Amino acid sequence: MTSEQAILVIRHVVQDHGDEGTRRGQATFCEGIRWFGGLLGWSWPASYLEVIGKHDGVMVQDAWVFSFLESVERFLLLHEPWHKPDGFWPVASDGCGNVFALAFGHPSPSGEVPVVFFDMIESRERPVETIAESYAAFIVHHMQRQCEQLGCCVLFSASTEREGGIA
């Protein structure tokens, strides 16, 4: 998945499934975010910066993706177990207190890192599962689930991309 696909999926979900509680963040200044990552000892994956560079945070019904400042707030609560060279950065919630996070301990050769899921009752230190191989793939997956819950057939999985879906 590419960042551009993730941005298109966000726009589809917001425009077609948004309600009065919908929020689509504005573009953010990524130089300051790069600087902050350097303070933490991390280099942000390109897809993370590209997506939040266009839409910093999204909330559409059950699909919640943190803005950078919301991620900072959540990270401060989890700082002790998560701030280490192979640590985690919170990027979204399932709405029940559980967290999706970038996993810096498993970078790909391209510099992308997977997104993992933490069941916060089970463990704050060990993720339950890997959800996506990159932030962009996570966004597509997360938004696609929202579409499916609403019976929307516009978004397709990567295996059916040639059939005309956004993803």
Domain count, the chain: 1
Which residue range forms the structural domain that includes residue 156?
Answer: 3-163
pLDDT at 151: 85
Residue 160 contacts by C-beta under 8 Å, 6 or more apart in sequence?
Answer: none
Q: How far apart are CA 22 and CA 33, in angstroms?
A: 24
Which string of DSSP letters, residue by residue, matches 31-71?
HHHHHHHHHHT----HHHHHHHTT-S-EEETTEEE--HHHH
Summarize pLDDT for 25-68 with one digit per residue, the tens.
888 889 999 999 999 999 999 999 999 999 999 888 878 899 99
Full-model pTM: 0.88
Q: How far apart are CA 21 and CA 91, in angstroms?
A: 19
Summarize pLDDT for 64-104 with one digit per residue, the tens.
899 999 999 999 999 999 999 899 999 999 988 999 999 99
* β 99-103/129-132 pair status: unpaired
Give the CATH number of the domain where residue 61 resides: 3.40.1580.10
